[in-house]
Structure 1
Amino acid sequence: MTLEHDRRRTLGAFVRSRRERLDPASFLLPGSPRRRTPGLRREEVAQLSGVSLSWYTWLEQGRDINVSRQVLEALARTLRLDQLEHRHLLRLAGSPSEAPISDPPVVSARLRAVLDAFDPSPASLRDCHGDILARNRAERALFDTGDAHANTLELYFAWQPIRTMLQDWETHARRILAEFRAEADRHPGDHRFTEIVDALRPFEPFGTWWDRHDIAGFTPTLRILHHPTAGPLTLEQSKLIAADDPSLHFLVRTAADPETADRLTALVANAQYRIRRRRGPG
């Protein structure tokens, strides 16, 4: 399949997901029992948007059709897209500006030094797929996963301890997945995204949520963790883009209160002590 075919198929799936979430009653349309699927029918969206049913059907099917800006604006209004979804629709309908990512990025010594400088604030270096390329001591102590789950989504869905450690896990996991979906749709044809999705489908509710096509942009958030050794931690989460390589970013978790700052310092110190004990005198 070509990159263009992937883009059209993603566009069709996104439009269909937005059609199916609409409430017919809010459009003053009859919600008869004969409706076999949720949301509006295709013919209703076509009529409300001023396009033919066959054209709209082809759009959802990912056919090779011309899509004008005027029609996209009409669709956005009918589907009641928010600002982020509106931009996403326009991006999917045009030529993708981002090239597929191929070779994994190399973490330079300079970036590692920056990462280590964040200690005792947990920090990691990640790419657009959410792959965790490097972690500082505090991040390794916070999430003691060893070398496993070296991807953000794997951490949230495949590493079971986080579901009890992270307060309001479902809200944060949904948000992380929606950010990932937006990034994946911007890179049609990038097989790394497909690999991640295929690997995580068995870990429900990942598959169910993924098929909803929810998207989101990054927003700084407060996370409350109940760490098994450090105790309660309240962390502000921020994302810092590496200016010389915008495909990489630092994810930094800073203490939101003095108690958390003290516990993070103790967590890192205890982790280093355990490492020295395992290594023995030398």
Structure 2
Amino acid sequence: MPEDALKSHRLRELREFLMSRRARVTPAEAGLPAGGPRRRTPGLRREEVAVLAGVGISWYQWLEQGRDISVSPQVLDAVARVLRLSNAERRHLYVLAGLNPPAPEPAPDHGCEGMRRLIDAWMPYPAHIMDRYYNCVMYNDAAGWVLGMRPEITQNCIVDFFTDPLYRSRSHSWEQNAHTVVAQFRAMCSDNPDDEGFRAVLAELKAVSQEFTALWERRDIKDAGVIRKELDHPLVGLLCVESTALKVPARPDLTIVLHTPLEEANTTAKLEWLASPQGRRGAMYPVAG
């Protein structure tokens, strides 16, 4: 479709979208008097939206008519507030108005309940969830048995990667994966240059690990992706898994990391055994490594 036709389509959609959202907001919801039986508009009037949003009446009329006018994020946010738009609707408004949409906002915390069910359903394979700063939010039992996740470590996945002796002793692929982990972390820091949370994690890593600091100074960058891990478990021996980091649209601040068994070393059967009553009993006793 030609560019002019796409623009015309976008502006038509903008007009229809704003009219539909305005019609569903009652005066009472906007803090206005109902207006009595003579009120014909099912929702808010255009001039009411303009006044409540703090914009000119003519400007808002032009916006809703789909005219090609200049808009700013601040004004669109004011309109979105008056029209009681959800986060998804607000981002859609930005797109229709020709602006880059804002980043998705996290859903309420109850979304974590569904993610807990997800990683528990991933059993007997390891899975965990971390926030944008690599802090571990939750993990399933298999992540404890296989990866050594436990309450007494820092609960920050990249800090523990460099400082947890238990994980280090089990990982055959530590040196190879360390380069990838640091390059991916640098990419995250690069995307958020003014975020003090990343700065705090970086400062901690430099303070506790010379190996991290040396890799950081290489300035390598990598996008998040699949990482192969080889682990020597004290009860079942070699395990070969593939970790995949998945973003959750409803919780863009969180990442789910799922570990999938590879065909080598009979990994699937070993993980299933570790989750069995016999394997669980074996994990109760101290084992080297």
TM-score (norm: length of structure 1): 0.57
Cα RMSD after superposing both structures:
2.9
1:155 counterpart (160, 164, 167): 160
2:228 counterpart (222, 227, 234): 222
SS at match of 1:108: helix
1:213 counterpart (219, 229, 241): 219
When structure 1 is superposed on structure 2, of 132-141 and 152-161 the one drifting more is: 152-161
- Report the Cα distance in structure 2 between the residues aligned to 1:173 and 1:125, rounded to whole angstroms: 20
The residue number in structure 2 matching 1:78 is none
Deviations 1:79-114 (A, max 9, x none): xxxxxxxxxxxxxxxxxx988x99xx7762111111
- Verify the 8 A CA contact 1:129 1:184 in the aligned structure 2: no
Identity %: 24
1:264 counterpart (256, 271, 284): 271
The residue number in structure 1 matching 2:242 is 236
- Report the Cα distance in structure 2 between the residues aligned to 1:132 and 1:107, rounded to whole angstroms: 16
Within-5 A mapping of 1:175-214: 175-201=180-206, 202-214=208-220
Q: Which runs of 5+ in 1 are unaligned?
A: 1-96, 278-282
Deviation at 1:241, TM superposition (A): 1.7
- Verify the 8 A CA contact 2:261 2:268 in the aligned structure 1: yes
Specify which structure has the bigger relative contact order, considering alpha-carbon pairs within 8 angstroms and separated by 6 or more residues: 1
- Verify the 8 A CA contact 2:145 2:283 in the aligned structure 1: no
Q: Which runs of 5+ in 2 are unaligned?
A: 1-100
The residue number in structure 2 matching 1:50 is none
2:121 counterpart (103, 117, 120): 117
TM-aligned CA distance change 1:276 to 1:220, over 3 Å: closer
TM-aligned CA distance change 1:127 to 1:98, over 3 Å: farther
Deviation at 1:248, TM superposition (A): 1.5
Deviation at 1:189, TM superposition (A): 2.4
Runs of 4+ that moved beyond 4 A: 274-277
Deviations 1:206-230 (A, max 9, x none): 1122122221112213221111222
SS at match of 2:258: strand
TM-aligned CA distance change 1:106 to 1:127, over 3 Å: farther
The residue number in structure 1 matching 2:137 is 133
Residue type matched to 2:236 in 1? A
Larger Rg: 2
Within-5 A mapping of 1:1-282: 108-147=112-151, 148-201=153-206, 202-257=208-263, 259-269=266-276, 272-273=280-281
